[in-house]
Amino acid sequence: MAESKHVEHFRKAHLRSGEEVVAWANGYAEKKPGIKRGSLLVTTKRVVCCHQGWFGEHVEHFDLAKVTSVERSSNMFQHKAVISAGSADLRFQFAADADAEKRVHEALDAGRQNAA
């Protein structure tokens, strides 16, 4: 699958020195008052949610070492993840790509274990 515009932009503008994108998936960031089309990325150091805002792109991230929990839920129509770090969280609905979703969850688990 080709990289989304969010992943391409993140690689060019927000990737830190010595950091690599390990996995990513397209879907929707759950933001009040609605949902925004975007991508959830896992790098060697962070979990990142990139989505389009009113006047540009929004990038939210947590260091993998600070992630306190990853909640997964699914039903017949949607798959979701809530990634928490202290009192803040990222809420993401995955698009219909089970392989990308699996890669993101595996990278999250591996990154959290390596960061500990």
Domains and CATH numbers, the chain: 5-115 (2.30.29.30)
Instruction: Give the strands of the sheet with 46-52, arranged side by side.
Output: 57-63, 46-52, 34-43, 21-31, 88-94, 79-85, 69-74
Structure tokens belonging to residue 103: 């890669």
pLDDT digits (tens, 9 = 90+) for 4-62: 888 998 999 999 999 999 999 999 998 777 788 999 999 999 999 998 777 778 899 99
pLDDT digits (tens, 9 = 90+) for 78-101: 899 999 998 999 999 999 888 999
Tell me how far the alpha carbon of residue 75 is from its chain's centroid.
20
Cα 78 to Cα 90: distance, rounded to the nearest angstrom: 16
Q: With 0-12 CB in 10 A as exposed, 13-18 as middle and 19+ as buried, what is 51?
A: buried
User: pTM for the complete prediction?
Assistant: 0.90
pLDDT at 1: 65
